[in-house]
A and B are shown apart, each in its own frame.
Chain A
Amino acid sequence: MSTSTFEALELRGVGRTFGGHEALKGLDLTVRRGEFIALLGPSGCGKSTALNCIAGLLPLTHGEIVAGDRRVDTLPPEKRGFGMVFQSYALFPHLTVERNVAFGLQMQGVPRHEQKQRVKDAIAMVKLEEHATKLPGQLSGGQQQRVAIARAIVLEPSLVLMDEPLSNLDAKLRLDMRAEIRRLHQSLGLTTIYVTHDQEEALSMADRLVVLRDGRTQQIGTPAELYDHPANWHVADFMGYRNLLDGTVTQIAGDTATVNLGSFELHGHVAGPLAASARVRVAIRPDDVVVTASAADAIDGNAIKATPSVVEYHGREFSVTALTDDGLRLNVKAATAPVQGEPATFTVRAERALVFPEELA
């Protein structure tokens, strides 16, 4: 049984085809030891396929996976020494918490007294001491997920794979567990690959993110890189750029493009290869849009006239949906509530309106 560590895990052109359908294509990724990587994307984007390929539960159809100097994609999952946490927890329902956690140690033939100590430590790590002799069915969802994590990390695996581990938990618990997983990752010096469809989760936990779409990598980078400089409108969409406005480029001057959006024009930042009169998609985050008193005050000459149709109270701010005269929908975060139904002027800094080519690479 190998729990040998590696300096880097390399995925080289990893792909998986299901009867002609490419669920994952050409994934290149180097995971350094101690890194927390999040695979992010909508359902069906191939992120779980990627994780199952790394775990060995799905054979690759293309590429290879190398851990250190050892090729692992040819090994069965039981020989890879990676820990995995499943979305459904996958706890053995007939075994107590202790025996669930001990299962992997037993498989490795760890001596009994050492087993006991390590199981105890792992259960303490996830703060489940008083539940050690219960069956999984007697625990809450959050507790079950903690058992699943303890069961995976007790083996001190060289890599921990987590498949949407928090998606079955309620919102508050999810926040707590997020911090918990990050804490365990750091204090144990784990290397983690984490699959999620929740960008907030990914941004807050991961050192680096991999955004996938239709089985293809869209962008790999740190949370800040992806947040501020999404590679295309799809990544932008996923990173919370909720305003995606379709238009045509009328003029390009350096980094700034002027885009015709029908009834008005917008100056934006060129965020991809653009040509004049190309079809583009302008991506703007709701919190970058500001209400101004008049068109004359508009920043960078970006004045958008729209009528607030929905105003939601969100505690510190208001979430406003406004409609322009020709029906474009604008999502805005505002500090003060604009009057519903009364036309207002919105503005955005040119550098925060990202202009992407409409076609995805």
Chain B
Amino acid sequence: MTAVTMTRAGAERSSASLKHRLAERGIDSSLLLLLPALLFSLVLFVYPFAYGLGLSFQPSGAIQQEFGGGFFANYVAFFKDPFIFDSVWLTLRLALPTALINVVGAVPVALVLRRKFRGKRLLSSILVLPITLGTVLTAQGLLIFAGRQGWLNRALMGIGLIDQPIQFVNNYLGVMLSLIISGFPFAFLLVSSYLSGIDPSLDAAGRTLGAGWWNRFRRITLPLLAPGLATTFILTFVLAFSVFPSARLVGNPNGSTRVLALMAYRSFGEQNDYTMASTIAVMMGACELVFIALVLAWRSSFYKGSTGGKG
């Protein structure tokens, strides 16, 4: 009875106060709590981003003369200048395999660490520890540990596995190693948490239905984990794609690891061309977005509902 009268009154004209009606739609004073975050993102993200974007459309005279294209001269240069554009491939060549290795490598480790065994906490702590190391420290460590005279080469030569020291650093491999060291813990933590969201009784059900471990993994765990793996891939890919310090410190910054971040830095630092640097930065973001969009499109074909667990 009351319900009926209330809806009728609502249909005609709400008699509640304006404040009350706004609150119904989620507008009230608690929204003020968003203010600091809003301010931060305006000052530290929106404005600088817009400024950079604006800069990228104000090419220097030299670029305009060389590549033409008016406002878009920087972008024309980005695609036409092989020295710059090749860097896209160099970056992808580094970021894609690294992200893949991190995700694929994290799955078995997370699966094993899901079980209960002695020393499990110690092992997972060791795996996550590299997160606390900065990239510079990692790079420095790699140079010492894996350099020509480093322990790694000496140990490998000592046990007779190799005759000549292997070039682990100052090249593509060095950057990749550094990206795996810093990216793997993230991938492992993310995959672990996605895995803990899958009800373990699904695996038990698979067993009682006669499925061996491979079939259980392939047909139960993997399909349920796939959306999480896609997300993990995106995050480690973005981390790897924007690599800068290790590309310079343990890479070959003039050759195989001439990544986009280095190119942007070079334009800004060496050529004093802010506008070109901004263009490269914008294009870096665009490249990442393209890959994220691709992965998300693929992800949308997965099952994404409840996985029965606590997640």
Residue positions of A touching B, CB distance < 8 A = 1, 55-57, 76-84, 86, 88, 90-94, 103-104, 107-108, 135, 137, 151-152, 155, 161
A-B residue pairs in contact (CB < 8 Å), sample of 29: A55-B208, A57-B204, A57-B207, A77-B204, A78-B210, A78-B212, A80-B208, A83-B209, A84-B205, A84-B208, A88-B308, A90-B199, A90-B204, A91-B205, A92-B220, A93-B305, A94-B224, A94-B303, A103-B211, A104-B209, A104-B211, A107-B209, A107-B211, A107-B215, A135-B303, A137-B306, A151-B209, A155-B209, A161-B208
**Considering the chains assembled together, what is the distance between the CA atoms of A1 and B211 in angstroms?**
10
**Considering the chains assembled together, what is the distance between the CA atoms of A79 and B208 in angstroms?**
8
**Considering the chains assembled together, what is the distance between the CA atoms of A84 and B204 in angstroms?**
9
Q: Is the interface of B mostly helix, strand, loop or mixed?
A: helix
Residue positions of B touching A, CB distance < 8 A = 199, 201-202, 204-212, 215, 219-220, 223-224, 303, 305-308
Interface contact B211-A135, CB-CB below 8 Å:
no
Can you name 16 extra interface pairs (CB under 8 A) apart from A57-B208, A103-B206?
A55-B204, A55-B208, A56-B207, A76-B207, A78-B208, A78-B212, A80-B208, A82-B208, A84-B208, A86-B204, A88-B201, A92-B206, A93-B303, A104-B211, A107-B209, A107-B210
The 4 closest A-B pairs by CB, nearest first: A94-B303, A104-B209, A90-B205, A84-B208
Interface contact A77-B208, CB-CB below 8 Å:
yes
Name the residue on A nearest B224 (C-beta).
Answer: A94
Which residues from chain A contact B201 at a C-beta distance below 8 Å?
A: 86, 88, 90
Which residues from chain B contact A81 at a C-beta distance below 8 Å?
A: 210
Question: Which of B205, B208, B224 has the most chain A CB atoms inside 10 A of its CB?
Answer: B208
**Considering the chains assembled together, what is the distance between the CA atoms of A135 and B202 in angstroms?**
15
**Considering the chains assembled together, what is the distance between the CA atoms of A56 and B305 in angstroms?**
29
Which residues from chain B contact A103 at a C-beta distance below 8 Å?
A: 206, 209, 211, 219
| Closest beta carbon of chain B to A17's beta carbon, Å | 15
**Considering the chains assembled together, what is the distance between the CA atoms of A19 and B303 in angstroms?**
39
| Closest beta carbon of chain B to A164's beta carbon, Å | 12
**Considering the chains assembled together, what is the distance between the CA atoms of A77 and B205 in angstroms?**
10
**Considering the chains assembled together, what is the distance between the CA atoms of A250 and B202 in angstroms?**
58
Interface contact B207-A92, CB-CB below 8 Å:
no
Which one of B205, B208, B210, B212 contacts A92 once the chains associate, using CB atoms below 8 Å?
B205
| Closest beta carbon of chain A to B117's beta carbon, Å | 13
Which residues from chain B contact A84 at a C-beta distance below 8 Å?
A: 204-205, 208
Which one of A82, A90, A104, A155 contacts B202 once the chains associate, using CB atoms below 8 Å?
A90
| Closest beta carbon of chain A to B28's beta carbon, Å | 34
Which one of A1, A55, A57, A93 contacts B306 once the chains associate, using CB atoms below 8 Å?
A93
Assuming A57-B204, A88-B201, A103-B219, is B308 touching A93 (CB within 8 A)?
A: yes
| Closest beta carbon of chain A to B187's beta carbon, Å | 22
**Considering the chains assembled together, what is the distance between the CA atoms of A93 and B308 in angstroms?**
8
**Considering the chains assembled together, what is the distance between the CA atoms of A108 and B210 in angstroms?**
7
Name the residue on A nearest B203 (C-beta).
Answer: A90
Assuming A88-B199, A90-B201, is B305 touching A137 (CB within 8 A)?
A: yes
**Considering the chains assembled together, what is the distance between the CA atoms of A297 and B94 in angstroms?**
96
Name the residue on A nearest B207 (C-beta).
Answer: A77
**Considering the chains assembled together, what is the distance between the CA atoms of A104 and B223 in angstroms?**
17
Which residues from chain A contact B211 at a C-beta distance below 8 Å?
A: 78, 103-104, 107
| Closest beta carbon of chain A to B160's beta carbon, Å | 41
**Considering the chains assembled together, what is the distance between the CA atoms of A103 and B205 in angstroms?**
10
| Closest beta carbon of chain A to B300's beta carbon, Å | 14
Which residues from chain A contact B303 at a C-beta distance below 8 Å?
A: 93-94, 135
Interface contact A90-B308, CB-CB below 8 Å:
yes
Which residues from chain B contact A137 at a C-beta distance below 8 Å?
A: 305-306
**Considering the chains assembled together, what is the distance between the CA atoms of A176 and B257 in angstroms?**
68
**Considering the chains assembled together, what is the distance between the CA atoms of A91 and B204 in angstroms?**
11
Which residues from chain A contact B202 at a C-beta distance below 8 Å?
A: 90, 92-93
Assuming A90-B204, A93-B303, is B308 touching A1 (CB within 8 A)?
A: no
Which residues from chain B contact A91 at a C-beta distance below 8 Å?
A: 205
Which residues from chain A contact B308 at a C-beta distance below 8 Å?
A: 88, 90, 93
Assuming A86-B205, A90-B202, A93-B308, is B224 touching A104 (CB within 8 A)?
A: no
Which residues from chain B contact A1 at a C-beta distance below 8 Å?
A: 210
Name the residue on A nearest B202 (C-beta).
Answer: A90
**Considering the chains assembled together, what is the distance between the CA atoms of A83 and B208 in angstroms?**
6
Name the residue on B nearest A157 (C-beta).
Answer: B208
**Considering the chains assembled together, what is the distance between the CA atoms of A193 and B202 in angstroms?**
20
Interface contact B223-A94, CB-CB below 8 Å:
yes
